[in-house]
Copies of this chain bind each other. A is one copy, B any other.
Amino acid sequence: MTTYRAPVKDYKFLIHDFLRLGTKDDLPCYEEASSDIINAVLEEGAKLTEEVFHPLNQSGDEEGCTLKEGTVTTPKGFKEAYQQYVDGGWQGMTSDPEYGGQGLPEALGLAFNEMQVSANWGLAMYPGLTKGATEAIHAWANDELKSRYLPKMLTGQWSGTMNLTEPQCGTDLGLLTTRADKSSDGTYKITGTKIFISAGDHDLTENVIHLVLARIAGAPEGMKGISLFIVPRNTVAEDGATGGNNGVSVGSLEEKMGIHSNSTCVMNFDDAQGYLIGSENKGMRAMFTMMNEARLGVAFQGLAIAEVAQQNAVIYANERLQGRSLTGEKFPDQKADPIMVHPDVRRMLMTNRAFIEGARAFGLWSGELADISRQHKDEGKRKEAVDMLALVIPVLKSYLTDQGVESASRALQVYGGHGYIKETGAEQFLRDSRIAPIYEGTNGIQAMDLVGRKLGQNNGETIRALFLMLTDFIETHKDNEKASKHIALLEKALGRQQAATMWLMQNGMSNPDNAGASAHYYLNLMALMMMGYFWVGMEIRANEMLETGEGDASFLKNKIITSAFFFEHIMPETASLRYKVEAGAKNVMALAAEDF
């Protein structure tokens, strides 16, 4: 019942016209990625997700995964769809060519990530988890382990997972109890139970490579005693041959609100052979490699679900006849006008649109940062990009996933009662969307990460660099006649953000609860400021292109309209967010816990 068309045109605009990726810095990932290659990847990615992934989205939700005699089965059609993904060589798209990857830009990988999730979130998670695992192995494992695991994971022949959460600990990983006992051969015996393991087991690949956080016997308590291990479900010999079960089993499948087609497993490790990656007790650092990657991926999930929910709501709004336009009949030959004529329906659709296109620009820019941070020849530039990316990742993860839920909910609302019925698919989008503000660090954790860690990194140099980037931009464009109104609104938002930052510095030190109580509002204020920055940037570029006659005039004019909508209908929230930041902890913490 639902359909999906990948936003190839918008990505082409962002990549080639707006961010002009590959033209500003001398990055190896763009050596092979000419404009033509990029366009071909976008178009092929669109085809795969539209034609292979999406048709299985509703049936996958309905059927879900099953566990029978220890074996997890994915919904009908998933195996074949995944095989097409493998055959197309998509798994290693952005990975290191030394291990069989194709070394394409991360920015392009994120674009494809959006398409996969829009088309079929549950299916997309299987290769998504593999990507996170391969990044961690690539960054932290020794050469031998890399050679043994990466090639088969980068083809998609094997998949990967992240095993962090245990029944007694999610956010507070310091409490974890999974044990690692060192064997005489230098490997470890891993024993413990992990929960909420996405793509924990399935029938798509011949082996599943678990990355597992565990505590080596005798290690310090808390976060400082955690190490990271590769634990394959089936043993892997030194020559890479797959053997029997390695003491890894599925305890049960979780019954969830959504993403039913992804197997969320309780995993039991029973003296399973594990291989340390990174140093002993330094597992958290290695885990964060995977986490940062994953958080960016999750941010794009928020965007992705908004996109597909919006597309279907738009189709419905143009087809459903109900009532008449307030300004007179628009289709007098029909019994009623399509609901697209009603301003409140438009308001919901424009709100989604302004979120989606702004978030896509913001998100893709973070992909650019990721590429610069890994590949720029100038170490200083790499470092700057690493820091800036670290600063914006919590903002992207939290804002894009919260708004993903809101957008899916607005899209559902467009359908009226039909949105509440399973058949139309709108309610699945909302159910699926609701996981993203939770996993890979709840959005509350993202906000604390932003104000408690990222703001202060390098003695505040990065946040100052961000403010400077915006100040320079405002300075450059403030006399741009067409954009000056929105530049002024951006400047106002920047002023609010700077004032809020000052408030946090002054009040968060004296009472850390002030920082904790304001973090959520501060993060959202920053998100809106960044959205405003990208919107006015796109608007200016669209005006330039219209003047020079480049591009599709109607597409560019719609960008300008949507920017105006953003500044008039969404950006005003910065006014109230600043007040909320400065409300602080007082009335948040005043009630006795037992009085709630």
- By a beta-carbon cutoff of 8 Å, the part of chain A in contact with chain B is 165, 168-172, 174-175, 195-196, 254-258, 314, 317-318, 321-323, 326-327, 335-336, 338, 340-350, 353, 405, 409, 412-413, 416-423, 427, 430-431, 434-435, 437-439, 442-444, 447-448, 511-513, 515-517, 519-520, 554, 558, 561-562, 564-565, 568-569, 572-577, 579-580, 583, 585-596
Question: B335 near A175 (CB under 8 angstroms)?
Answer: yes
Set of chain B residues within 8 Å of A165, measured between Cβ atoms: 417
Select from chain B the residue with minimum beta-carbon distance to A326: B512
Bound-state CA distance A564–B422 (Å) is 42
Question: B589 near A422 (CB under 8 angstroms)?
Answer: no
Q: Within the complex, what minimum Cβ distance (angstroms) separates A46 from chain B?
A: 19
Question: A416 near B170 (CB under 8 angstroms)?
Answer: yes
Question: B589 near A196 (CB under 8 angstroms)?
Answer: no
Question: A421 near B254 (CB under 8 angstroms)?
Answer: yes
Set of chain B residues within 8 Å of A338, measured between Cβ atoms: 593
Question: A587 near B561 (CB under 8 angstroms)?
Answer: yes
Select from chain B the residue with minimum beta-carbon distance to A412: B434
Set of chain B residues within 8 Å of A565, measured between Cβ atoms: 587-588
Question: A517 near B346 (CB under 8 angstroms)?
Answer: yes
Q: Which of B170, B317, B341, B587 contacts A568 (CB 8 A)?
A: B587
Closest 6 CB pairs of A and B: A343-B516, A572-B579, A326-B512, A568-B583, A257-B427, A344-B444
Please tell me how many copies of the chain the complex holds.
Answer: 2
Question: B417 near A439 (CB under 8 angstroms)?
Answer: yes
Question: A318 near B409 (CB under 8 angstroms)?
Answer: no
Bound-state CA distance A512–B342 (Å) is 10
Question: A419 near B444 (CB under 8 angstroms)?
Answer: no
Question: B430 near A417 (CB under 8 angstroms)?
Answer: no
Question: B345 near A444 (CB under 8 angstroms)?
Answer: yes
Set of chain B residues within 8 Å of A342, measured between Cβ atoms: 444, 516
Question: B596 near A349 (CB under 8 angstroms)?
Answer: yes
Question: B430 near A442 (CB under 8 angstroms)?
Answer: no
Question: A591 near B420 (CB under 8 angstroms)?
Answer: no
Question: A423 near B519 (CB under 8 angstroms)?
Answer: no
Q: List 11 A-B contacts (CB under 8 A).
A: A172-B323, A326-B515, A327-B512, A344-B447, A346-B589, A413-B438, A416-B438, A417-B438, A431-B431, A558-B591, A569-B583
Select from chain B the residue with minimum beta-carbon distance to A423: B255
Most-contacted residue by chain B among A417, A435, A589, A593 (CB, 10 A)? A417
